[in-house]
């Protein structure tokens, strides 16, 4: 009888420890996922910010060119109208990209839901998507401005 009780106690002890290990493994997996998402969010941010200065420079160049075109004689302004439209569109796209990056950075909360891994994973997943869209907008606007200004 004593052996049976001892055996049951040992089995119960192993079962409890096994549950604890499973819980720890799940928590570690979630922490790893949250860390991975944070890294992806920051990679998107860094990629966008690496073009920030170039965007500002292109925006200034475009504004300068538009100002110069506006001071040309009427015939020259008319002749450059298609180029002027492209410059305006590129300038607007750059301004939008700059504003979107600024807005995202203002709203991003690095410590959001730090005590609740499920909420943190959801938040970081959403932020990864947001910063990905901003990064794409930035890269597209820089590409268009670059090709337009090199002509």
Sorting pLDDT into bands at 50, 70 and 90, what band is 23? very low
14 within some domain: no
135 within some domain: yes
Q: What is the pTM of this model?
A: 0.76
Could you list the residue range(s) of the whole structural domain that residue 66 is in?
Answer: 31-149
pLDDT per residue as tens digits for the range 40-69: 999 999 999 999 999 999 999 999 999 999
Cα–Cα distances in angstroms (integers) from residue 118 to residues 23, 30, 128, in the given order: 14, 7, 15
pLDDT of residue 29: 72
Rg of the chain over Cα atoms, rounded to whole angstroms, equals 28
2 within some domain: no
Residue 73 near residue 51, CB atoms below 8 Å: no
18-32, 78-92, 95-109, 126-140: least confidently modelled range = 18-32
73 within some domain: yes
Whether the pLDDT of residue 93 is over 50: the answer is yes
For the chain, what is the mean pLDDT? 85
Q: How many domains is the chain partitioned into structurally? A: 1
CB within 8 Å of 124: residues ≥ 6 apart: 34, 37, 38, 40, 41, 112
21-38: average pLDDT? 70
């Amino acid at each position: 009888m004593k052996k049976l009780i001892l055996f049951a106690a040992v089995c119960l002890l192993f079962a409890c420890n096994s549950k604890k290990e499973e819980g720890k493994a799940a928590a570690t997996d979630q922490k790893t996922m949250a860390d991975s998402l944070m890294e992806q969010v920051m990679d998107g941010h860094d990629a966008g910010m690496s073009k920030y200065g170039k965007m500002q420079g292109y925006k200034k160049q475009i504004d300068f060119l538009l100002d110069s075109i506006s001071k040309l004689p009427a015939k020259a302004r008319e002749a450059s109208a298609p180029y002027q439209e492209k410059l305006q569109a590129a300038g607007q796209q750059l301004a939008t990209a700059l504003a979107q990056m600024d807005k995202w950075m203002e709203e991003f909360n690095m410590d959001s839901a730090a005590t609740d891994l499920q909420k943190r994973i959801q938040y970081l997943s959403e932020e990864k998507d947001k910063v990905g869209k901003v990064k794409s907008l930035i890269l597209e606007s820089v590409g268009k401005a670059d090709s337009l200004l090199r002509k």
